[in-house]
Structure 1
Amino acid sequence: MNKRTLPRLAGVLLLGAALGISGCSTITGSSGYGTRTSYAIEQDTRIARALWDSIRTDESLDGTHINVDVYNGFVLLTGQAGSDAQKSRAGELAKNLHGVRHLSNELSIGPNSSTQQRLQDTWITSRVKTRLTTSNHIDSDRIRVLTENGTVYLMGLVRYSEADYLVRLVSQTSGVDRIVKAFEYLNG
């Protein structure tokens, strides 16, 4: 393994653990408004894999910590880049992929977050998902929750009133520094 592979492999393993703990991998199972089709889920998976492969093999992005999430063609980039050029490059790679409907490039410029911070973020995500799952106001399968450096990112297909409810719910969770809505809004 070279110097680039080991940190990326560690990041992939940590991401896999975070997804398993937080329940982010549960994206189907509900029916009715606001749910995605199997085709949309397959396309999101295709986009995420293609983007991740592009980021991983682009030497100009060495040393970055970039998370990729896709929900209904909306791409969210979180993590850290060492420069504005690296942030822009990651955004370009996303925009050039077929099927990307919207990009939220939330990469911060600075050093990569520590393992301790990533574990804290996983813990915050778990608590938010638990609150969401026990709520009777919205189907938690329609919402994706991610946390990076104390910022909670919310994705999904929601009504404006549901987004407001979700922000109130998340803001009551300790450890949350900021909330970013990366929703696709439904009429009504």
Structure 2
Amino acid sequence: MTFSVNRLAGACLLAAAAGAGLSACVPLAIVGGAAGAGTLVLTSERRSNETQTADNTIEQNAQQSVINALAGRGHVTVTSYYRKVLLTGEVPTEQDRQLVESVVKGTPSVTSIVNELAVMPNSGPTQRSNDTYITGKVKARFLDANGVPTRAIRVVTERGSTYLMGRLTAQEMAVATEVARQTAGVQRVVRVIDLIADPAGGSVSPAASPASAATGAVAPVTGEAAPGVVTQPVVQTTVQEARPPIEVQTLPPAK
């Protein structure tokens, strides 16, 4: 029953998204790290109630602190997953960019920060509406894709760049990446992913993920052809030096 409802929801959202064309080139970047193994359920939330509460609290507290610090400047979105914070949006100066990161760094329970803020004028209502539309299309296609744990992935889109956050197996990450890359309007896919062991047995190191995605060893996605890929590095800062740093990798162009 759950599967049928998911497919129906995906179909409805996809119908609303129909009519848009594919982007010609979708760059791809990866920010990943290793996490412990565990039993996985495809459609379930992988965070404990405690972790979900911590993420919600981080987002609320950090967002308010950023608003107070910028005093009306910029447009910043704070997204937390497993206490790892992604910063997206626009700020007017490099000093503001560093200020936001510093403020969020001081938020209790934050373990690391991926700072994707751009120094540029704020995006307008049309751009933000389009980003929301793209995010909805990606989520809808996840619902209808085989092998994507929809409730274990956070999706954020800023100025056509779609960010995927979560704890996934290498196969799940590869499939989710291909689905996002093939979604109309997506200009770049950035993965902020912790790799976990496959429940079928065996573990996968972060170093294995670029090869699996680059060679196309993923479940087929129907309906749209994969666009070309131009790699784009992601720069991030590790907040707590006591924790293993997040490994930053770039992928070669997809064939």
**Aligning the two structures, in what range does the TM-score lie when normalised by the shorter sequence?**
0.7 to 0.9
**Aligned twin of 1:169:** 179
Q: Is the 8 A contact 1:61 1:86 kept in 2?
A: no
**Aligned twin of 1:114:** 124
Return the letter of the residue paired with 2:184.
S
- For the pair 1:57 / 2:68, whether they are aligned, the reply is yes
Q: Deviations over 1:47-92 (max 9, x none)?
A: 111101111111x453210001101111011000111111111111
**Aligned twin of 2:95:** 85
**Identical-residue share of aligned pairs (%):** 30
Q: Is the 8 A contact 2:166 2:193 kept in 1?
A: yes
Secondary structure of 2:113's partner? strand
- For the pair 1:133 / 2:143, whether they are aligned, the reply is yes
- For the pair 1:38 / 2:49, whether they are aligned, the reply is yes
Return the letter of the residue paired with 1:83.
T
Q: Report how far residue 32 of structure 1 moved.
A: 4.4
1:103 to 99, 113, 133: 113
Q: Is the 8 A contact 2:149 2:172 kept in 1?
A: no
Q: 1 CA distance for matches of 2:103 and 2:170?
A: 30
Secondary structure of 1:63's partner? coil
1:182 to 192, 213, 217: 192
Secondary structure of 1:66's partner? strand
Q: Is the 8 A contact 2:91 2:122 kept in 1?
A: yes
TM-score norm. by structure 2 comes to 0.59
Return the letter of the residue paired with 2:86.
L
The structure whose Rg is larger is 2
**Aligned twin of 1:76:** 86
Q: 1 CA distance for matches of 2:129 and 2:148?
A: 27
Unaligned runs of at least 5 residues, structure 2: 1-37, 198-202, 204-255
Q: Is the 8 A contact 2:66 2:104 kept in 1?
A: no
- The count of residues paired between Structure 1 and Structure 2 equals 157
Q: Is the 8 A contact 2:86 2:113 kept in 1?
A: yes
Unaligned runs of at least 5 residues, structure 1: 1-30
Q: 1 CA distance for matches of 2:139 and 2:73?
A: 30
TM-score norm. by structure 1 comes to 0.79
Give the number of the structure with larger relative contact order, counting CA–CA contacts within 8 Å between residues 6 or more apart: 2
2:169 to 159, 165, 182: 159
Return the letter of the residue paired with 2:65.
S
Q: 1 CA distance for matches of 2:75 and 2:191?
A: 21
Secondary structure of 2:137's partner? helix
Secondary structure of 1:111's partner? coil
Q: Is the 8 A contact 1:66 1:107 kept in 2?
A: yes
